[in-house]
Amino acid sequence: MELLRGSSARRLVRWSLAPTWSRNWICPSCRSQSVASRRFQSTTPSPKPYYVTTPIFYVNAAPHVGHMYSMVLADVLKRWQILKGNTALLCTGTDEHGMKVQRAAAVENMSPKEFCDETAAKFLNLADSTKIDYDRFIRTTDADHIEAVEHFWFLLREKGLIYETVHDGWYCVGDECFYPESQVSKQMDPFTGEVFMASTETGSKVEWVEEKNYHFRMTEMKSKLLEFFSENPDWIVPAARMNSVVDWVNNHLEDLSVSRPAERLTWGIRVPDDPTQTIYVWIDALINYMTMAGFPTLSPGREHEGGWPADVHVIGKDILRFHCVYWPALLLALDLPLPKRVLSHAHWTLDRKKMSKSVGNVVNPFFAIEQWGADMMRFYMIHDGGISNDADYNNVMIAERYRKQLQRTLGNLASRVVKAKAWDVGEIVADVGANGLYKINSAESDDIFNHQENLLKNLLPAVEKHMENLDSSAALHEVMELLNQTNKFISETKPWVLAKEAKDPWKMGALNRTIYFSAESLRLAGILLQPVMPEKSAELLDILGVANDKRQVQNAALYSDFDYGVPAYMPGPDGLFPPRGLDD
């Protein structure tokens, strides 16, 4: 089930990035695309789109809200770029090979492919239900991805970076990786008293394995990795996580086992010239980011048109080593561009314990969306989710956020400004556009209005700075703080009193300033909230009468639009955010 959207449809031209690609092996699609390759190579290259990825999610069990968080973080980054007028791509999908899937399918008495089809559909449904604007939902069982992995393998082999050896070591099925001796210790199950060997990093049980397989000469990349980290200290967000990556490279780096005997692992991509071996699932999985970008089917000089290198990989902190040690080592080995940044977010916990499919303490995201709505869940994920520190999922807190932040702050402000009969927002906005702000004769009032004006002027620069730092939570807090301050501003200026004394020109001036600045707060907030709450933001902007072509980042500046104020429709009696939650 290969799902493609628009510009992410498979490219038809070859990408030959390295002269070491074996001339004796050409993937089937490349053979059939040779005519198309000659036809398209003469066209003018297009600029590189902004490219953001989620991790591809492992299908050994159903999705939970932690997966939704990764999706929403990536989606907000993509939507922000679109809002800035840039072309942007988002890739999400499922990781479907490996021992865990093979065993999970056996437990369900299903073939691995049937099991993957069923579970991948759940992740696809989650993306759609959460309003993720993905350009491709990739699966590692897709034909073009399998070809990309085979191609990548041959590039490594032809450069002499893969060798065969007998390997023994501690292997963790749950983590799908070997651990060095220094990362393994004895642990005891507190309930059964069983003593077992486990990873000191994850606590997962490991087993001693001796097998013949292929290895990647990762230790040869050590100096290049450390040099890259030194030159790019902000490559990982948050920057503090760079320390653990550098420590791993300095103290634990080993050549990487990149295949498993097919007699033990049947479910995966076979080594192209050795069907007795199956390619290691993490080598397979990481290459998905380049499959989406067109690897290996874009011609030299045009590789960037598919988005590579990725601008941001959004990942959970538990897969940091795979993305920030293994992945750059593989790319450096082939002289391929590295992703520009990695956003490594913290986990969602439940009762302060990490959500885990194996433990069973997970929150069903579909139930959450059904109860609260997609926009509310997106808001909660961004507002309360953790990047540096874990966040605890709490339904009571979601209810509080809905009532205080959305109903009483945003929804209440919209009703106070738009639904009042004592003034006409459209007339006031047009009047300010034509004549400017009226003067007032009170120094005290001037201070109030000047403060509100400065809040509005400073909002966009603050949000842009946070978004450049990949901190969508801080950006959202800036917008919500403006709305909170604007409600206080209205309470202080009392426009309903000013409207009764409108014959006084000074009172009329104060009324116009109050309603104009309040309407501007809503307009700016509506524009900047679009990446987080796409549906509710659109409703808000419709209620304000903001034209569709004036809803981009450049329009989120004070005094930039004087043509709004006539509602496309009026909100109902319950406003933008009707009652819902734990008690409804």
Q: What is the pLDDT at residue 36? A: 30
Q: Which residues of 505-527 are buried (b: 16+ CB within 10 A; e: fewer)?
A: eebbbbbbbbbbbbbbbbbbbbb
Q: What fold is seen in the domain 3-160+221-247+282-345?
A: Rossmann fold (3.40.50)
112-129 and 65-83 are packed helices; what angle lies between their axes, rounded to 10 degrees?
50
| Closest listed residue to residue 268, CA positions, set 257, 283, 254 | 283
Half-sphere exposure (CA, 13 Å, Cβ side) for 44? 2
Beta strands in 366-468 (DSSP E): 391-392
The pLDDT of residue 167 is 65
Closest CA to 278 of 292, 264, 290, 288: 264
What are residue 568's phi and psi, to 5 degrees? Answer: -70, -30
User: Cα(first)–Cα(last) distance of the chain, in Å?
Assistant: 39
Distance between CA atoms of residues 137 and 96, nearest Å: 13
Please give the structure tokens belonging to residue 76.
Answer: 């907000």
**SS3 category, 122:** helix
CA 130 to chain CA centroid, nearest Å: 12
**Predicted local distance difference test score (pLDDT) of residue 210:** 72
Q: Which runs of consecutive H residues, i.e. helices, occur in 232-275?
A: 242-251
Q: Where are the domains of the chain?
A: 3-160+221-247+282-345, 395-555
Q: In what order do the strands lie in the sheet with 162-172?
A: 177-179, 162-172, 207-216, 256-257
- Widest CA span in the chain: 92
**Three-state DSSP class for 52?**
strand
Q: For strand 342-345 and strand 236-237, is the pairing parallel, antiparallel, or unpaired? A: parallel
SS3 content of the chain, % helix, strand, coil (to 5): 50, 15, 35
Spatial separation of the C-alpha atoms in residues 107 and 228, rounded to whole Å: 44
Nearest alpha carbon to residue 152 among 307, 357, 335: 335
* Count of C-beta atoms within a 10 Å radius of residue 31: 8
- Read off the DSSP letter of residue 338: P
pLDDT of residue 176: 61
Q: List Cβ neighbours of 547 (8 Å cut-off, separation of 6 or more).
A: 561, 563, 564
Distance in angstroms (rounded) separating the CA atoms of residues 563 and 185: 67
Identify the segments of the chain with pLDDT beneath 50.
1-42, 584
Q: Is the dihedral of CA 518, 523, 524, 530 positive or negative?
A: positive
At 39-97, the pLDDT tens digits run 233 356 678 999 999 999 999 889 999 999 999 999 999 999 999 999 999 999 999 99
The CATH code of the domain at 395-555 is: 1.10.730.10
